[in-house]
Amino acid sequence: MGDLDAQARIDAALVERAVQNDDARVFEILVRRHQGLVRAQLRRLLGDDPALADDLAQETFVLAWRKLAQFRGESRFSTWLYRIAYSCFQQYWRSQGHRRRQERELTEHLGDAPGVVTPTHELGLDIDAALRRLSFNQQAAVLCCVQLGLSHEEAALVLDMPLGSVKTHVARGKAKLRELLQDWAPSPTSKSTEQFK
């Protein structure tokens, strides 16, 4: 936590310098520090379309540069960036929504319906498939709270939804994942995961 606080203070100082001097070189340091997880977040949300994820990540940083003076330091800079990235994703998804929803439904019908999937040692792939069966809000909440390691409050900010909804989406998402994955896990202890390492 102390490390996170220290990183947040460094980010806040960099933002202040970038805004005061209108310094793109300082902003470049911020991009280098955060591009990895912003792109990872978008790749996860887009279901492994790296080129598109990078385009949206680029849009995210251009927007961040434009709005940098609006960053008040009320949240961590990374949280603020994830919020912009998620907005870019939502905007893209709404514009493409109909077509992609159809593709997604087709994939689901053709592929891995729950209970039909056979146990496999490629559990990473199974988890990806299970994650794709969650609703968008559940996927996004699990991504923020578990995979990106944000607090529920930070996730609420990123996803622009009430704190209670975030907690509900995480709980329901995890319950559904457990239900989907339980056939593949032979024991509830950590031994259950060892064999897949």
Binding region for another protein (CB under 8 A): 22, 24, 27-28, 31-32, 35-37, 39-40, 43-44, 54, 57-58, 61-62, 65-66, 123-124, 127-128, 131, 142-143, 146-148, 174, 177-178, 181-183, 185-190, 192-193
Coil, strand, or helix at residue 94?
helix
Residue with Cβ nearer another protein (18 or 156): 18
Answer for the pair 68, 27: CB distance below 8 angstroms, yes or no: yes
Report the 10 Å Cβ neighbour count for 65. Answer: 13
CB of 99 to another protein, least distance (A): 26
Residue with Cβ nearer another protein (66 or 98): 66
CB of 196 to another protein, least distance (A): 8
CA 174 to chain centre: 15
Q: What's the helix, strand, coil split of the chain in %, to 5?
A: 80, 0, 20
Residue with Cβ nearer another protein (97 or 136): 136
Determine the Cα–Cα distance for residues 192 and 52; give it in Å rounded to an integer: 35
